[in-house]
Amino acid sequence: MPPVAEPSAPSPPGARPGPARAQCPYCGVGCGLELKPGEPAPDPEASPASWTVRGDRQHPSSLGQVCIKGATVAETLDQNRLVQPQWRERLDQPFRPIDWEQAYAILIHQIQHTLASQGPSGLAMYGSGQFLTEDYYVANKLFKGALGSNNFDANSRLCMSSAVAGYARSLGSDGPPCCYDDLDLSDLVLLIGTNTADCHPVLFQRLLKRKRKLKAALQIVVVDPRATTTSDAADLHLAIRPGTDLVLLHGLGHLLLLQGAIDRAFIDQHTEGFAALETLWQAWTPERVSALCGISIPQLEQLAQLWARSSAVLSLWSMGVNQSREGTATVGGLINLHLVSGQIARPGAGPFSLTGQPNAMGGREAGGLAQLLPGYRAIANPAHRAEVERHWGFAPGAIASQPGLAVWQQVEAMERGELGLWWVAATNPLVSLPWLDRVRAAAQACPLVVLSEAYAGTETAAVAHLLLPAAQWSEKAGVMTNSERRLTLCPAFRQPPGEARADWEIFAELGRRLGFVSQFNFDSAAAVWQEFSALTVGRVCDLSGLSHRLLAEHGPQQWPFPQGCAPGEGQARLYGDRRFPTDSGRARLIAEQPLGLAEPPCDQFPLVLTVGRYLGHWHTMTRTAQVERIQQRHPEPLLEVNPMDARRYGLVDGALGQVRSRRGAVSAKVMVTDRIRPGTLFLPMHWGASQELACEANRLMHELGCPISKQPELKAAAVTLEPVILKPVTLKPVTLKPVTLEPVSLKPLA
Ligand SMILES: Nc1nc2c(c(=O)[nH]1)N[C@H]1C(S)=C(S)[C@@H](COP(=O)(O)OP(=O)(O)OC[C@H]3O[C@@H](n4cnc5c(=O)[nH]c(N)nc54)[C@H](O)[C@@H]3O)O[C@H]1N2
Ligand SMILES: Nc1nc2c(c(=O)[nH]1)N[C@H]1C(S)=C(S)[C@@H](COP(=O)(O)OP(=O)(O)OC[C@H]3O[C@@H](n4cnc5c(=O)[nH]c(N)nc54)[C@H](O)[C@@H]3O)O[C@H]1N2
Ligand code: SF4
Ligand SMILES: [Mo]
């Protein structure tokens, strides 16, 4: 069956399409972009039409602002695309092009074979926060509903899952309670484990603009083992030892107690568990905290004073908090402070996770992790399963009662030969998962690895048997939700290249071919959305009043947006009534002892490697490596080393250094800088094996993570460092054979 036409399908060839408005497909700030077609190309077949991009001034989340990635996105859309399904039986063979009929036949054969031999648990998909919500919804319905396998997980496991678990545990439900306007209303902004300037640039610029105006009246505190562009703007930078965030937060609680800077009325009326937290905090004296975190007591006291005297405290956090073996506990530790001081559920105040990917929020709403179902529901809850089964049109019991495998468990299942199909879509795990050598070996042992990708030649393609060409953002319609719970319709305004299809269409077509015709009979993304949004009625993330049409006509909207809600009337903040969605209606205070790093430094591996991002590059560079301006800005990966460590390990600026962990070694050019803590190294995550200057940081990282969120500790591994001594190359003497030249007879010119 051919892909179904969208109501917002690309214009017919020859027509000049008008400007398109969409959410930026990169980070979770979710800026609005306005895209206008350039001059039509003389030969549209040879060179596709160019698009000019600018910030969409009508978008309430970004008001016309963009960063370098959003501004250059049009340059990434056409080159190096995967345009046809490709197949190889064995990994040592080259891929050969096939058609979609053959691709579906391969998928269906392996699914049926696996179901017969191993059962539903032998099937797994690993998806992405870069899916549109419609992609997520149909993938989930296919795996958890039709196939009976809850093994649908996403790269949000590496990203936001500690925030998801932390919100749910403390407040009773997932869902960031704040909005971007809070940046304009707070007088203390705590940025913990986030390099906002590089990773959420448009939000950071908004904060910076206000800081320039208000000066000391707005205080900015940054907690990060490195000095970053973010900390350059801070009034106070706490360069703590990696993995000591929870100690710091408890130490702050200790001082707030001492100073009496707590809101007794709020604690009594709206929380539970204070007595246990109070006992825990009492033990976290400034002396202990200072020694463990590696910061001074006056610095800690300064933070406590700022918190105590501020009328509105806003905390922003990202991967420095989430990617930790105690990620959920640290999120709880941060929310504790907001609850105990009444700094929540009012303008300018609250705990606010900065979402990484453009639609990781939509993924959470659609139930896109192995333990979730749509509408912020849980697999473990029998009533939730029954509601979803009914809505999806499957028999009672169709959804398995146990949560599925999180991504690392999928890797382990492949190692044990327990997966017959590993389907990777819109993520590049052979760069982004920890312990890459182990992941590679596990994937190589899986009988069928399928990769749905927009681009050709990614690192993950090297372990795949079947490649499915995906239409990407701009070529398929659908909705994304940004960090402040705002939904933007992203229309299809370009044709997908070759035979590429929207991910949700690929999943729906497979569902029909497997015999679930009525359940997957969607004729458009708008119809998928309609079915999904109806499943959110009465939930915390109620967005049942939103349709593609409403979003197209009235622009981006925030949820909650129940049926009957008027455009612009979605809620900016959650829990304004201070009732939390727990059984008691009270938020829970979490008293948990800090554990520190899962792999602490030791004699053999005395340093801590942390891995993060550069402003211009996006993750595994499938898109940003194509942009000249970005490549010029970040031409190579640099290993940041403190001058003390450089001296100790015999390295100078510009030298080649080798970082080694228990799992492997990588080399990179050294940048000696006092902007990183002694004992800590930094590498970017971006340069995978397919890049000319490959630097596979994740060969070094371990898989251990938070037991609650199952998020791996991608921010820290114990390593050692040594200079790379380039061996002098001995050239073998070459004996040149004498060349005998044939005599040439030149004809005289006429
Ligand atoms: N330019 C760019 N922007 C992006 C992305 C991108 O690839 N490129 N990706 C997007 C995505 S998916 C995400 S998840 C976000 C990530 O956004 P961020 O989390 O802001 O980015 P990172 O660079 O991964 O890490 C942030 C900081 O955590 C610090 N850190 C390391 N260990 C610790 C610790 O133990 N404690 C604390 N407090 N800090 C620590 C690091 O030094 C680093 O500066 O960015 C989004 N935006
Ligand atoms: N050590 C360390 N490791 C990390 C991190 C870290 O901070 N430190 N961060 C982690 C985090 S937070 C994240 S989010 C991950 C990100 O890691 P990945 O998800 O692996 O990174 P991306 O390069 O964004 O991968 C997305 C892929 O989808 C493709 N694609 C784009 N659009 C579409 C589409 O519409 N359909 C399909 N099918 N494909 C599409 C892109 O070409 C790209 O190959 O990395 C994680 N890994
Ligand atoms: S800040 Fe994020 S969403 Fe905004 S333009 Fe940059 S990458 Fe896109
Ligand atoms: Mo992320």
- Is 26's C-beta closer than 6 angstroms to any atom of ligand 3? yes
Please give the full DSSP string across 360-425, using - where no structure is assigned.
HHHHHHTT-STTEETTTEETT-HHHHHHHHHHHT--TT-S-SS----HHHHHHHHHTT--SEEEEE
The candidate with the shortest Cα–Cα distance to 485, out of 178, 38, 256, 157, is 178
Q: Would you say 579 and 177 are in contact if contact means Cβ atoms under 8 Å apart? A: no
Indicate the top mutation candidate among 155, 226, 361, 459 to test ligand 2's pocket, ranked by most ligand atoms within 8 A of CB: 155
CATH class of 86-158+358-471+499-516: alpha beta
The average confidence (pLDDT) of the chain is 95
Confidence of residue 746 (pLDDT cuts 50, 70, 90): low
Lowest mean pLDDT among 210-214, 434-438, 703-707, 746-750: 746-750
Residue 329 above 80 pLDDT?
yes
**629: Cβ contacts below 8 Å, ≥ 6 apart:** 68, 72, 616
Residue 58 above 50 pLDDT?
yes
Edge-first strand listing for the sheet containing 51-55? 20-23, 32-37, 51-55
Tell me the chain's radius of gyration from C-alpha atoms: 27
Edge-first strand listing for the sheet containing 152-154? 96-97, 86-87, 466-469, 449-453, 421-425, 123-127, 152-154
pLDDT of residue 727: 74
Confidence of residue 44 (pLDDT cuts 50, 70, 90): low
Please give the full DSSP string across 94-129, using - where no structure is assigned.
PPEE--HHHHHHHHHHHHHHHHHHT-GGGEEEEE-T
pLDDT of residue 9: 44
Fold classification of 161-353 (topology level): Dimethylsulfoxide Reductase; domain 2 (3.40.228)
Residue 735 above 90 pLDDT?
no
Give the C-alpha separation, 240 to 226, whole Å: 9
Confidence of residue 733 (pLDDT cuts 50, 70, 90): low
Residue 455 above 50 pLDDT?
yes
- Is 511's C-beta closer than 6 angstroms to any atom of ligand 3? no
Average pLDDT, stretch 223-248?
A: 98
**356: Cβ contacts below 8 Å, ≥ 6 apart:** 27, 28, 129, 156, 159, 160, 199, 318, 319
Which residues have C-beta atoms less than 6 Å from ligand 1?
A: 27, 159, 192-195, 198-199, 223-226, 228, 242-243, 245, 318-320, 356-357, 610, 612-613, 615, 617-619, 715
Confidence of residue 110 (pLDDT cuts 50, 70, 90): very high
Please give the full DSSP string across 184-203, using - where no structure is assigned.
GT-SEEEEES--HHHHSHHH
Cβ-based neighbour number of residue 597 at 10 Å: 21
CA 279 to chain CA mean position, Å: 36
Residue 16 above 80 pLDDT?
no
Percent of the chain with pLDDT over 90: 92
Q: Which ligand is nearest to the CA of 201?
A: 3
Residue 750 above 50 pLDDT?
no
Confidence of residue 621 (pLDDT cuts 50, 70, 90): very high
Residue 340 above 90 pLDDT?
yes
For the chain, the residue count is 750
Where do the domains of the chain lie? 86-158+358-471+499-516, 161-353, 607-723
Average pLDDT, stretch 261-271?
A: 98
Which residues have C-beta atoms less than 6 Å from ligand 2?
A: 128, 130, 155, 158-159, 319, 323, 356-357, 425-429, 431-432, 452-455, 458, 470, 472-473, 503, 611-612, 619-620, 622, 685, 697-698, 701, 714
- Is 176's C-beta closer than 6 angstroms to any atom of ligand 3? no
Confidence of residue 2 (pLDDT cuts 50, 70, 90): very low
pLDDT of residue 113: 98
pLDDT 10s digits, 627-667: 999 999 999 999 999 999 999 999 999 999 999 999 999 99
Q: Closest ligand 3 atom to the C-alpha of 68? A: 6
pLDDT 10s digits, 127-151: 999 999 999 999 999 999 999 999 9
Lowest mean pLDDT among 257-261, 319-323, 473-477, 743-747: 743-747
The candidate with the shortest Cα–Cα distance to 470, out of 443, 428, 505, is 505
Average pLDDT, stretch 466-489?
A: 98
DSSP code for 478: E
Four-way CATH pick for 607-723: 3.10.180.10, 3.30.70.3420, 2.40.40.20, 1.20.1260.10:
2.40.40.20
